[in-house]
Amino acid sequence: MLQAAHAAMYFWKIVGTPSNHAHAAQLLAHVYALLKLPGPAAQYLSKSLPHFTQRDCAPWERAFAHAVAANVASAEGNAAAYAKHYADAKAIAAHITDPETREMFSATLRVVSAPNS
């Protein structure tokens, strides 16, 4: 999974747009967080999160960005950021209208478990 994510980043750096670069960095952040490697996860998140939170992006892009940010915060042991990003992801996901995209988002949340309240 990590090698595939790095390959995607390499490919999109050559032929992609800034949006493609942000999606590739987001994928790497997510994978590193899943591997419980918070340093590189945070590094890649810092390259992707601003793209999705400081621009007019589609709800699915913002929801995924916050879900990945929650995953990175969890890997870092930052409970407050974890809870905030997770709640933001769920709230924004309510605006995803495409059923297939909703299912992909749900699959992401299955690997980014809900924070303890």
Residue 100 lies in a domain: yes
Q: What's the whole-number mean pLDDT along residues 8-29? A: 95
**Does residue 84 belong to any structural domain of this protein?**
yes
CA-to-CA dists, residue 107 to 7, 101, 110, 111, angstroms: 22, 10, 5, 7
Q: What is the mean pLDDT of residues 82-99?
A: 96
Domain that residue 24 falls in: 2-111
- pLDDT bucket at 4, cuts 50 / 70 / 90: very high
Cα–Cα dist 94/90, whole Å = 7
Whether residue 116 is contained in a domain is answered as no
pLDDT value at position 55? 77
Q: Is 117 contained in some domain?
A: no
Residue 117 pLDDT greater than 70, yes or no = no
Is 27 domain-assigned?
A: yes
Residues making up the chain, counted from first to last: 117
- What DSSP string runs through 18-71? HHHHHHHHHHHHHHHHHTT-HHHHHHHHHHHHHHHHSS---HHHHHHHHHHHHH
- State how many domains the chain has: 1
pLDDT band with cut points at 50, 70 and 90 for residue 88: very high
Distance CA 109, CA 95 (A): 16
- Considering the domain boundaries, does residue 81 fall inside one? yes
Whether residue 65 is contained in a domain is answered as: yes
Residue 90 lies in a domain: yes
For 73, the 3-state DSSP assignment is helix
Q: How confident is the model at residue 1 (pLDDT cuts 50, 70, 90)?
A: very high
